[in-house]
Chains A and B, each alone.
Chain A
Amino acid sequence: MIEHLPILQVIIPLLAAPICLILREARLVRWFTFIASALAFVNSILLLQQVQTQGTISYSLGGWDAPIGIEYRIDLLNAYLLILVTSISTLALLAAGPSLRKELSERKETYFYVAYLLCLTGLLGILATGDAFNVFVFLEISSLASYTMIAMGRDRRALWASYQYLIMGTIGATFILIGIGLMYMMTGTLNMYDLAERLPEVQQTKTVFTAFAFFVVGVCLKLALFPLHLWLPNAYAYAPSIATVFLAATATKVAIYVLLRFIFSVYGFEFSFSHLPLQEILVALGLMGVFAASIVAIYQDNVKRLFAYSSVAQIGYMILGLGVGSKTGLTATLLHLFNHALMKGAIFLALAGLIYRVGSVNLKAFSGLGKQMPWTMAAIVVGGLSLIGVPLTVGFVSKWYLVLALLESNWWPIAVLVLIGSLLAVIYVWRIVEVAYFRKAMQDSAPYKEAPLMILIPTWILVLANIYFGIDTGFTVGLSEQIAASLFEVAK
């Protein structure tokens, strides 16, 4: 049993999805999905323990050894992200019941859970696999499932957002497919670790450069790097609340994992950063993303879309950390991956509770909510403080490491820009605080009640995690530093 953990991680949600269709009854399906996701979470914790004691796990699918068979390979980086994805997914599912009942018709609820589980399967598959083509297949599984989830939003704009995402997502995935094809053409292998061994021999060919370019652009579309982020704001804004929580906290993070894995483990740091102007491109786009997206966020009236733009900005910080090209920079990226998932998970879950009661996320509807829904609004405020990077929240920890990395490389002008970027976050968070706490409630409406407990509990678990990991940084920082060190070791 214990040696099959890498594949069980993917199989559990994959098999749970069709069983949901048989169960039909929405209430049953809801708990069944929750249990499946919780099992995946337990599985990922066991995997991390196993990796920490035994080192990297290699699992041959069906007993066929790599490179002929497909290999699943779990090292610290994979295990770290597996825990992140499964924990957020489980918490989101805890709140899913009341939120979905309000936002979807009962017939659709079951299908939502099926799509949710398939999306989870895809994301976990990308993380677990050690095969380049497998990455593409799982990427498409998760993408198709997320298009479906987004299209279930009750506003008709959800359909249009889903369609746009489908077009851009498919272009991104096809670019990745071209990249993998060209790599295969030059090396004759699809196993990532085989690729890493064979690519240096053919490194100087145009085909390998082209493969790298196609692959990176494709992945950057998926992770919504500015200016390839156009699909993201509307998709997050109009999707059902629970889908937004799940996607915002996990989907882009997994895409960043793919980028890290290929830059460091497959192509190697040397190739990625010395032969190509990748560093300059990443730093420039990361910074532009931080500023452009934060400024646009300030002018949004739809609060869900406001935080979606803020997600694009936060991705800019992660890419910036990667662009520094040092161990500390990579640590900052890995920390921000985890921390951003906690912040956005908390904020979007709180917004789910807000939509449950108020029915709208327009800024106007927020007036007076600070008194009427104190717990929900407090969750948004703590999440917002974390986004800004106030000390004692997780946001501070990752920004600290990012600035540290920039100063280490003597890039102090960029460090200053990062701090100015954080001030922009103050503005858009303040807009919400001002309306919610300092404006009187509209006279004609009865006061809203606090969000249901089933939504509040997971929200506050995430809010407390935001504070806990901001104070006790042992787990996240220790692990991130270890992972960054191991990625640089492989690269050399």
Chain B
Amino acid sequence: MNFLEQYNYWIVIILMMSGFYIVIAHGNLIKKMIGLTVFQTSVFILYISMSKVTAGTAPILNEAYKVYSNPLPHVLILTAIVVGIATTALGLALVVRIKEAYGSVEEDLIQEKDLQQEGSE
């Protein structure tokens, strides 16, 4: 099997793992959101690239076109994109509130303040 034959999946996996790594490794809440978005986007590419049919055209209902790409994954992923935007928006809104409440967007500082609060209770 040719290594490059399925390059689209390699792209998906590289993006997915970089996004996932950023979410886990970075302590900055904004960077975590960026990682999460990259992670989600990789799945969009997975869906869209699998709907491609070799030598197919766009899905047009006409006698002239016999082979065409599968339109369904595009539609599905439109929904997933909307969900992704909602998640990012909510996540960023939470970061704003966290910044107001804690004065920081760094994970370790927030956890330190939480520990202090728990100790004083």
* A and B part of one assembly: yes
* Residues of chain A whose beta carbon lies under 8 Å from any beta carbon of chain B: 133, 136-137, 140, 144, 147-148, 151, 156-157, 159-160, 162-163, 166-167, 170-171, 173-174, 177-178, 181, 184-185, 190, 301, 362
Q: Which of B71-104 contact A (CB under 8 A)?
A: 73, 76, 79-80, 83, 86-87, 90-91, 94-95, 97-98, 101-102
Which one, B20, B73, B94, contacts A162 given CB within 8 A?
B94
CB pair B90–A144 under 8 Å, yes or no, is yes
Q: Which of B39, B80, B98, B101 has the most CB of A within 10 A?
A: B80
CB pair B94–A166 under 8 Å, yes or no, is yes
Counting from the closest, the 3 A-B pairs by CB-CB distance are A156-B101, A140-B83, A163-B94
CB pair A163–B91 under 8 Å, yes or no, is yes
CB pair B102–A156 under 8 Å, yes or no, is yes
Residues of chain B within 8 A of A159, CB atoms compared: 94, 97-98, 101
* Residues of chain B whose beta carbon lies under 8 Å from any beta carbon of chain A: 20, 23, 29, 32, 36, 39-40, 43, 46-47, 50, 73, 76, 79-80, 83, 86-87, 90-91, 94-95, 97-98, 101-102, 110, 114, 117, 121
Q: A140-B87, A157-B114 are in contact. Are A167 and B32 (CB under 8 A)?
A: yes
Chain A residues touching B, majority SS? helix
Q: Which of A140, A163, A173 has the most CB of B within 10 A?
A: A163
How far, in whole Å, are A167 and B87 apart by their CA atoms in the complex?
Answer: 9
Q: A137-B83, A156-B101, A160-B110 are in contact. Are A174 and B50 (CB under 8 A)?
A: no
How far, in whole Å, are A181 and B73 apart by their CA atoms in the complex?
Answer: 9
CB pair A174–B39 under 8 Å, yes or no, is yes
Residues of chain A within 8 A of B29, CB atoms compared: 163
How far, in whole Å, are A47 and B53 apart by their CA atoms in the complex?
Answer: 43
- Determine how close the nearest CB of chain B comes to the CB of A104; give it in whole angstroms: 15
Which one, A151, A171, A184, contacts B39 given CB within 8 A?
A171
17 A-B residue pairings within 8 Å (CB atoms): A137-B83, A140-B86, A144-B83, A156-B101, A159-B94, A159-B97, A162-B94, A163-B29, A166-B87, A167-B91, A170-B36, A173-B83, A177-B43, A177-B80, A181-B46, A301-B121, A362-B121
- Determine how close the nearest CB of chain A comes to the CB of B61; give it in whole angstroms: 15
Q: A156-B102, A362-B121 are in contact. Are A170 and B40 (CB under 8 A)?
A: yes
Given A156-B102, A157-B117, A170-B87; 20 other pairs, CB 8 A cutoff: A136-B80, A144-B86, A144-B87, A156-B98, A160-B98, A160-B102, A163-B91, A166-B90, A170-B36, A170-B40, A171-B23, A171-B39, A173-B83, A174-B39, A174-B40, A177-B80, A181-B73, A184-B50, A184-B76, A362-B121
Residues of chain A within 8 A of B117, CB atoms compared: 157
Residues of chain A within 8 A of B46, CB atoms compared: 178, 181
Chain B residues touching A, majority SS? helix
- Determine how close the nearest CB of chain A comes to the CB of B63; give it in whole angstroms: 22
Residues of chain B within 8 A of A301, CB atoms compared: 121
- Determine how close the nearest CB of chain B comes to the CB of A164; give it in whole angstroms: 9
How far, in whole Å, are A133 and B80 apart by their CA atoms in the complex?
Answer: 10
- Determine how close the nearest CB of chain A comes to the CB of B73; give it in whole angstroms: 7
Which one, B23, B50, B80, B83, contacts A167 given CB within 8 A?
B23
Q: Which of B47, B79, B94, B101 has the most CB of A within 10 A?
A: B94
Residues of chain B within 8 A of A174, CB atoms compared: 39-40, 43
CB pair A181–B39 under 8 Å, yes or no, is no
Residues of chain B within 8 A of A157, CB atoms compared: 114, 117
Residues of chain A within 8 A of B39, CB atoms compared: 171, 174
CB pair A181–B47 under 8 Å, yes or no, is yes
How far, in whole Å, are A233 and B110 apart by their CA atoms in the complex?
Answer: 17
- Determine how close the nearest CB of chain B comes to the CB of A201; give it in whole angstroms: 18
The residue in chain B whose Cβ has the minimal distance to the Cβ of A189 is: B72
CB pair A181–B43 under 8 Å, yes or no, is yes
- Determine how close the nearest CB of chain B comes to the CB of A3; give it in whole angstroms: 27
CB pair A160–B43 under 8 Å, yes or no, is no
How far, in whole Å, are A458 and B30 apart by their CA atoms in the complex?
Answer: 41
The residue in chain A whose Cβ has the minimal distance to the Cβ of B75 is: A133
Residues of chain A within 8 A of B91, CB atoms compared: 163, 166-167, 170
How far, in whole Å, are A177 and B98 apart by their CA atoms in the complex?
Answer: 29
Residues of chain B within 8 A of A163, CB atoms compared: 29, 91, 94-95, 98
Residues of chain B within 8 A of A160, CB atoms compared: 98, 102, 110, 114
The residue in chain B whose Cβ has the minimal distance to the Cβ of A185 is: B50
The residue in chain B whose Cβ has the minimal distance to the Cβ of A137 is: B79
The residue in chain A whose Cβ has the minimal distance to the Cβ of B37 is: A170
- Determine how close the nearest CB of chain B comes to the CB of A240; give it in whole angstroms: 15
The residue in chain A whose Cβ has the minimal distance to the Cβ of B33 is: A167
Which one, A151, A171, A184, contacts B94 given CB within 8 A?
A151
How far, in whole Å, are A173 and B102 apart by their CA atoms in the complex?
Answer: 28
Residues of chain A within 8 A of B114, CB atoms compared: 157, 160
Residues of chain A within 8 A of B95, CB atoms compared: 163
Residues of chain A within 8 A of B98, CB atoms compared: 156, 159-160, 163
Q: Which of B50, B91, B102, B117 has the most CB of A within 10 A?
A: B91
